[in-house]
Copies of this chain bind each other. A is one copy, B any other.
Amino acid sequence: MLMTNNEEVIEELKRIVKQKGLKYTEQREIVLDILINAEEHLSAEDVYNQIKTKYPESNIGIATVYRALGFLEEVNLITSIAFGTEGKKYESNAKSHHDHLICTSCGKIVEFLDDEIEKRQERIAKKNKFKITSHSMQLYGTCKDCQESK
């Protein structure tokens, strides 16, 4: 499935919800919308706060945010990662695939993509007769600024 824009992701959410016999709610759409348009990875509370700012008329509760995040991750529309001292953070899967360089000192995240690595991952999967659905890769270390400030 290739999703080129936000509407398409929202449509995908509708399709999944319908297929599962669940109900389509504005809250789930809002949570997804926030993540689709986020510049960076967001914690559950970040999402909650952004909703209060961007959709002040929505009286969403933090519990609903958590439930929506869990649901969206389960159906593969978003992904969570957590590192260092910071808690779990989420990002939309609609963003083009990339891996992460994470500074364990200041928390900075640099996204990158390497075609050769992607190809090799496929090859390894094939060799082991796995059918890959997703993958994640993180390089942990210290960014330039943090190395200097030591």
Contacts and interface: CB of A to CB of B under 8 A. Distances in A.
Interface of A: 70, 73, 79-85, 87-88, 101, 103-104, 110, 112, 114, 116-117, 120-121, 124-125, 128-144, 147
Contacts of A121: 117, 137, 139
Given A121-B139, A133-B142, A110 B128 contact: yes
A134 B141 CA distance: 7
Given A136-B83, A138-B135, A124 B130 contact: no
7 contacts: A80-B83, A112-B124, A112-B128, A116-B120, A124-B139, A125-B139, A137-B137
A136 B139 CA distance: 7
Contacts of A138: 81, 135-137
Complex copy number for this chain: 2
Contacts of A140: 79, 81, 132-136
Contacts of A103: 130
Contacts of A132: 139-141
Closest 6 CB pairs of A and B: A82-B82, A129-B144, A132-B141, A137-B137, A135-B139, A130-B141
Given A73-B84, A80-B84, A130 B101 contact: yes
A93 to B, nearest CB: 10
Contacts of A133: 104, 140-142
Nearest to A105: B74
